[in-house]
Amino acid sequence: MIAFANTDGGRIFIGVNDDGSACGVMDLDSTMLKATNAIRDSIRPDVTLFTDCFTDEVDGKPVVVVNVQRGTARPYYLAGKGVRLEGVYVRQGASTVPATETAILNMIKETSGDCYEDARSLNQQLTFKKATAYFMKNKIDFADNQKRTLNIIGEDGTYTNLALLLSEQCTHTIKLAVFEGSKKSVFRDRRELSGSLLDQLEEAYSYIDRYNRTRAVFSGLDRIDMRDYPPEAVREALLNAIVHRDYSFSCSTLISIFDDRVEFVTIGGLVKGISFDDILLGISVLRNQHIANVFYRLKLIEAYGTGMLKINECYDEYTVKPKIEVSDNAFKITLPNTNYTGESVLNNSAQSLFQHFVAPKAEREKIVVSLFERRDYIIRKDVEAVLNVSQATAILILREMTENGTLVKDSGGKYLRYRLGKTE
């Protein structure tokens, strides 16, 4: 029956010998009941809509006939075996044979379309320890009804590829590498992450964070810490790499950490109909709608289409900027190290701080606040001019005054603006 439903349909006669001679059926009702129960209990997905069981006569003897049509939810398989070579059968001439992996994949593609998330997973023996923990943490049910709503379980009652991606059995990986200097010539460390995408997300962020060093400079007695990479930018770039990659390819996501930058390379170019300029404006067309929906429910992403804008905003106060590159089949985000430009950024910042932070902090802030006597807002260059400090030092001053509430950011206009907040 599975072979007929997976191929071109067929008819099975119960009560006819292999040589075609009729032997008949003693109890028609009992035989029909056994046949329909076997169809319902042993075959997945449900194939009963494509079968018809009735009685007939062959050479004057009563037989049971099961008519099987080609199903629309192929591949059909033995419930106890799953979507594996030993569970899926097709017709080859007059014989029933196990389907090849290529044949199984073709059937899945034909019936599920081109959307990888919606297709049935080849592996139906999935576990969801990490996903369950995430849903519990966010006080969201993760029972079968919710799995169906999220498309983890498909309409035919089987696990989809989305389920595979969230399970411990996920076959897609993230490869991370740390290089000496700014070239891929000398490895310092490397690691490959597997398992649930949720596990990979956590482990990848922790790994990158180990190499996201904190640089300290001092303003008088005040210590100011500066991370190499804004943590929010790292988070958004990592989420982008996971949510938007094309999982129909087996290629790993690559994250490369250099002294001067971090590169995130994912397989899958821009979604059809979207241009590079659209991405920079924050327009987002999701390749993996269901993954994004799950991540949204788990509060890992706040809203669709804001990732690139957030990454760029994290670098508003720096001369170095993120770089985005797109090819037909790949997407690359490069986050520059804010504390690195050859040898100079940290050294210049330190020199500027020691050279220009002679005035007490309260006096320095008073000078900046006095700028608002003549205008409604200021920009970084105004601080550089009035205090005679470098760009890096002005950034530190503005950041400090923003954090203590003296200034508030206003992103309107070409340059990042600052307006007067509270004053003591």
55-64, 96-105, 392-401: range with highest mean pLDDT: 55-64
| pLDDT value, residue 353 | 42
What is the mean predicted confidence (pLDDT) over 355-369?
65
All domains in the chain, ordered by first residue: 2-111 (3.30.950.30), 174-336 (3.30.565.60), 344-420 (1.10.10.10)
Please check the confidence at residue 324 and state whether its pLDDT lies above 50.
Answer: yes
Please check the confidence at residue 299 and state whether its pLDDT lies above 80.
Answer: yes
Please check the confidence at residue 348 and state whether its pLDDT lies above 60.
Answer: no
HSE (side-chain half, CA atoms, 13 Å) at 316: 20
C-alpha 101/C-alpha 93 separation (Å) is 19
Beta bridge mates, 409? 418
| pLDDT value, residue 352 | 45
| pLDDT value, residue 105 | 77
Q: Where does the pLDDT of residue 359 fall: very low under 50, low under 70, confident under 90, or very high at 90 and above?
A: very low
- Tens of pLDDT, residues 381-423: 888 888 877 777 788 888 888 888 889 988 666 678 888 886 5
Neighbours of 246 (CB within 10 A): 17
| pLDDT value, residue 107 | 82
Proportion of the chain above pLDDT 90, given as a percent: 45
What is the mean predicted confidence (pLDDT) over 187-211?
95
Please check the confidence at residue 343 and state whether its pLDDT lies above 60.
Answer: no
Please check the confidence at residue 179 and state whether its pLDDT lies above 80.
Answer: yes
Provide DSSP, 234-295: HHHHHHHHHHSS-TTS-PPEEEEE-SSEEEEEEE--PPTT--HHHHHTT----S-HHHHHHH
Q: Which positions ≥6 away from 78 have C-beta within 8 Å?
A: 2, 42, 43, 44, 86, 87
280 and 307 Cβ atoms separated by less than 8 Å: no
198 and 130 Cβ atoms separated by less than 8 Å: yes
What is the mean predicted confidence (pLDDT) over 348-368?
56
C-alpha 237/C-alpha 245 separation (Å) is 12
What is the mean predicted confidence (pLDDT) over 145-149?
94
What is the mean predicted confidence (pLDDT) over 206-226?
77
Q: Which range, of 167-176, 269-278, 305-314, averages the lowest pLDDT?
A: 269-278
Sign of CA dihedral 13, 15, 17, 18: positive
CA dist 66 → 3, 38, 54, 79 (Å)? 13, 12, 7, 19
Q: Which positions ≥6 away from 307 have C-beta within 8 Å?
A: 236, 237, 239, 240, 284, 301
Please check the confidence at residue 191 and state whether its pLDDT lies above 60.
Answer: yes
Q: Where does the pLDDT of residue 272 fall: very low under 50, low under 70, confident under 90, or very high at 90 and above?
A: low
Proportion of the chain above pLDDT 70, given as a percent: 86
What mean pLDDT is reported for the chain? 85
| pLDDT value, residue 367 | 84
Number of DSSP helices (H) and strands (E) in the chain, helices first: 15, 18
| pLDDT value, residue 104 | 85
Neighbours of 257 (CB within 10 A): 22
Please check the confidence at residue 223 and state whether its pLDDT lies above 80.
Answer: no
